[in-house]
Structure 1
Amino acid sequence: MLDATNENTLLIVEDDDVLRDRLARAMERRGFDVRVARCLSDAVDQANAELPRYAIVDLRLQDGSGLSLVEMLEERDPNIRAIILTGYGNIPTAVAAARIGAIDYIAKPATADEIVDALIRPRNEHAPAPTNPIVPEDARKEHITHIFHEMNENVSQTARSLDMHRRTLQRLLKRYEIV
């Protein structure tokens, strides 16, 4: 737990309203003074008003890449501890995040404790290897389930959002026992 001071300001940039609100509450309980933004432009405005000490930034935002925000924060203050949180992780973006100053690159879903550990871990200390890594098929199921519920369980909307054929999605939902 952290003491709530100006040294513990945290900017959460996430376009998923439910995840952003849940994460904000969890971080407040852990002693952070939380600010939230749902898009890149809001995040830039907030950072210009008050530079945070910590930042959790979604990779894909509706109006741009979270990498550009991390780069801006790093240029303004190299001591800012920013992490990329993404459901679309891949090696090239992880490397790009590290090059521009992100201290970690975490795949969704992640627990609040995993995120706090990444934020407060000393710079020269590496994250431990996962003890119980998520199986890719489980990650896919969780992502599809999340989007399906976010789209009010509308199969056609979910399929469009996932860039997937509707019938393929229906088969997956049936296999995952979601519908």
Structure 2
Amino acid sequence: MAEQQKFLIIDDDATFTRVLARAITKRNFNVKVARSAEEALEVIKNWLPDFVSLDLKMEGASGLTVIQPLKLAHPMVRIVVLTGYASITTAVEAIKLGATQYLPKPVNADEILHALEQSDADEEVDISNQPMSVNRLEWEHIQKVLSENNGNVSATARALDMHRRTLQRKLAKHPVRQ
């Protein structure tokens, strides 16, 4: 009998992880859950997953910090980054670091597994006929500058010539739609 494939869920949302873990287990995977990037790094010391769903924004370190250690420990691991705070900058960084896919939340188990199984780029992806809204452009620019400042809100606020509290309020909001 073949060994079950291992699936690691890294997310700090208890309800989401409970539902996702149950759904992935029903699909015959051996599932473990880590509630932070730091906990995930401890898990992979003794248990190497074949597949990973990774939340981008968690308490403590960003989910991006887990991608390279996962790839070093198991180069063939397939990683899908999930986030409710999707931006072009974080998507590009996740893929550059070695993630397989990047999906905005909400998402279900079937969508996650489909993304992890997909190995080729989709040339037929929908391209919008409308440019991004001014609010979305602002969100993307803030995310780019935040990434350039390694997530440091104070340095980002200075670079944007914006009050730190104003920036924090903007970051606390969900991103605007395209």
TM-score, normalised to structure 1, is: 0.66
Secondary structure of the 2:102 match is strand
Counterpart CA distance in 2 for 1:124 and 1:55 is 18
* 1:5–1:33 CA contact under 8 A, matched in 2: no
CA RMSD, Structure 1 to Structure 2 (Å): 2.2
* 1:55–1:81 CA contact under 8 A, matched in 2: yes
Counterpart CA distance in 2 for 1:119 and 1:83 is 6
Counterpart CA distance in 2 for 1:12 and 1:57 is 6
Secondary structure of the 1:49 match is coil
Counterpart CA distance in 2 for 1:85 and 1:4 is 29
Does residue 68 of structure 1 match 2:65?
A: yes
Counterpart CA distance in 2 for 1:126 and 1:4 is 31
Partner of 1:117: 114
Return closer, same or farther for 1:120/1:128 CA change in 2, 3 Å cut-off.
farther
Q: How does 1:1-179 map to 2 (within 5 A)?
A: 5-6=3-4, 8-121=5-118, 123-126=119-122, 129=125, 163=169
Aligned length in residues: 129
Larger RCO: Structure 1 or Structure 2 (Cα < 8 Å, ≥ 6 residues apart)? 2
Counterpart CA distance in 2 for 1:64 and 1:128 is 35
TM-score, normalised to structure 2, is: 0.66
Secondary structure of the 1:43 match is helix
Secondary structure of the 1:60 match is coil
Instruction: Kindly state the Cα deviation for residue 127 of structure 1 after the two structures are TM-superposed.
Output: 8.6
Return closer, same or farther for 1:4/1:30 CA change in 2, 3 Å cut-off.
farther
Instruction: Kindly state the Cα deviation for residue 101 of structure 1 after the two structures are TM-superposed.
Output: 0.6
Point out the structure with the larger helix share. Answer: 1
- Matched letter for residue 86 of structure 2: G
Secondary structure of the 2:18 match is helix
Uncovered stretches (5+) of structure 1, i.e. residues with no partner: 131-161, 165-179
Return closer, same or farther for 1:29/1:63 CA change in 2, 3 Å cut-off.
same
Question: Structure 1 runs of 4+ off > 2 angstroms?
Answer: 3-6, 123-130
Instruction: Kindly state the Cα deviation for residue 72 of structure 1 after the two structures are TM-superposed.
Output: 1.1
Give the % identical residues. 36
Secondary structure of the 2:80 match is strand
Instruction: Kindly state the Cα deviation for residue 48 of structure 1 after the two structures are TM-superposed.
Output: 0.8
* 1:4–1:32 CA contact under 8 A, matched in 2: no
Counterpart CA distance in 1 for 2:90 and 2:79 is 15
Instruction: Kindly state the Cα deviation for residue 41 of structure 1 after the two structures are TM-superposed.
Output: 1.4
* 1:10–1:52 CA contact under 8 A, matched in 2: yes
> Residue deviations 1:75-96, cap 9 Å, x none?
2222100110110110000000
